């Protein structure tokens, strides 16, 4: 049985990060998705095409997706044949995240509506179009999913991730003192052990 593991990176990441996961899936082909989308409506056009180009010849496909890559995957690939998804620090409620960012930037909905886009001092640009889009297009995700979440994730609260896990019947693993970005040795060792649990 020929199996593909498709890796979808988060913001600022790259498809080359898929190399890290190859030893964890020794009997599978592990490929990083080379994508350019920065908005969910772009992912909706780009991701299914890339998926269809990569997947012929495989009997099953698993996903590994990071942060906003998981959000894009859920939005764009929900209709595809995916056996299992492994989400690392996924963004699961984009409306709440945008509203939180508006709070951090002290921006009201009326202000955002009037100005359409507002840059922030933490590197994100708030967008009225983005907020309206995610409100009009809620996530529908039924793929069997495992979630790895860092206790100190600064983008998604435990309440939000827990509610999503309940709603989608996903398993949720919380790393004590883990962050949104899994990057140091302790975090990466934890991540690798978490992935390995599902491949035994």
Looking at the structure, do residues 18 and 86 belong to the same domain, yes or no? yes
Same domain, 191 and 99: no
The verdict on 13 and 83 lying in the same domain is yes
Pair (55, 120) in one structural domain? no
In tens, the pLDDT along 75-115 reads 999 999 999 999 999 999 999 999 999 999 999 999 999 99
**Looking at the structure, do residues 23 and 81 belong to the same domain, yes or no?**
yes
The answer to whether residues 85 and 152 belong to one domain is: yes
Tell me: do 43 and 80 sit in the same domain: yes
Residues 84 and 170 in one domain: yes
Write out the chain in H/E/C secondary structure. CCEEEEEECCCCCCHHHHHHHHHHCCCCEEEECCCCCCCHHHHHHHHHHHHHHHCCCCCEEEEEEECHHHHHHHHHCCCCCCCEEEEECCCCCHHHHHHHHHHHCCCCHHHHHHHCEEECCCCCEEEHHHHHHHHHCCCCCCCCEEEEEECCCCCCCHHHHHHHHHHHCCEEEEECCCCCCCCCHHHHHHHHHHHHHHHC
Q: Please give the tally of structural domains in the chain.
A: 2
Domain, as residue range, for 100: 94-138
Residue 175 and residue 130 share a domain: no
The reply to whether 84 and 103 lie within a common domain is: no
Kindly state whether residues 86 and 101 are assigned to the same domain.
Answer: no
Task: Count CB neighbours of 181 within 10 A.
Answer: 18
What is the per-residue pLDDT for 199?
A: 78
What CATH number did the domain enclosing 14 receive? 3.40.50.1820
pLDDT in tens, 45-75: 999 999 999 999 999 999 999 999 999 999 9
Verify that 183 and 158 share a domain, yes or no. Answer: yes
Nearest 10 degrees: Cα torsion 103, 141, 72, 25: 120
């Amino acid at each position: 049985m020929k199996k593909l593991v498709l890796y979808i990176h988060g913001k600022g990441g790259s498809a080359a990060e898929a190399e890290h996961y190859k030893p964890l899936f020794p009997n599978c082909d592990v490929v990083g998705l080379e994508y350019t989308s920065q908005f969910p409506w772009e992912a909706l056009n780009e991701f299914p095409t890339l998926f269809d180009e990569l997947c012929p010849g495989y009997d099953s496909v698993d996903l590994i997706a990071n942060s906003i890559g998981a959000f894009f995957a859920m939005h764009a690939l929900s209709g595809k044949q995916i056996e299992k998804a492994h989400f690392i620090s996924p963004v699961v409620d984009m409306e709440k995240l945008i509203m939180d960012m508006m709070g951090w930037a002290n921006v009201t909905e009326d202000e955002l509506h009037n100005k359409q886009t507002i840059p922030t001092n933490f590197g994100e640009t708030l967008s009225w179009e983005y907020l309206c889009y995610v409100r009009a297009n809620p996530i529908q995700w039924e793929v069997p999913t495992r979630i790895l979440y860092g206790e100190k994730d600064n983008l998604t609260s435990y309440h939000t991730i827990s509610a999503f896990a309940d709603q989608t019947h996903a398993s949720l693993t919380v790393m004590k003192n883990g962050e949104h970005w899994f990057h140091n040795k302790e975090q990466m060792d934890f991540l690798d052990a978490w992935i390995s649990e599902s491949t035994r």
